[in-house]
């Protein structure tokens, strides 16, 4: 999924700010962080479905985001649920994502 290059849409971050976030985190991690924010919390399976990448890819990148303190992860039965931490919210806020 390419990063947006169109003009800003009300309520959405500016494309340049999304590209800056991708430059900081990498495009896949940026997409995962943004999807978790949009969904308010997401399971690994939801992220796989939303982003069209493998479960191994999501697990790898969520591990990096978790170790960086940007997301928290909680086991919910057989699922694993990911949510933004205050630091993750701050990083997205600094890039124009509310």
Q: What long-range pairs does 33-38 form, CB within 8 A, spacing at least 24?
A: 33/65, 33/70, 33/71, 33/84, 33/88, 33/91, 33/92, 34/92, 34/97, 36/71, 36/82, 36/83, 36/84, 36/88, 37/84, 37/88, 37/89, 37/92, 37/97
pLDDT at 12: 58
Does the model's pTM come out above 0.75? yes
pLDDT at 76: 84
Q: What is the pLDDT of residue 13?
A: 59
Mean pLDDT by groups of 10 residues along the chain of 98 residues: 45 73 90 93 94 95 96 92 96 86
């Amino acid at each position: 999924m390419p990063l947006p290059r169109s003009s800003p849409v009300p309520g959405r971050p500016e494309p340049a700010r999304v590209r800056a976030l991708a430059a900081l985190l990498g495009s896949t991690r940026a997409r995962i962080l943004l999807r978790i924010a949009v969904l308010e919390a997401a399971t690994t399976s939801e992220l796989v479905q939303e982003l069209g990448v493998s479960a191994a890819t999501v697990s790898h990148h969520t591990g990096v985001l978790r170790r960086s303190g940007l997301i928290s992860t909680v086991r919910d039965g057989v699922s694993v649920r990911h949510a933004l931490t205050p630091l993750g919210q701050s990083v997205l806020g600094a890039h124009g994502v509310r």
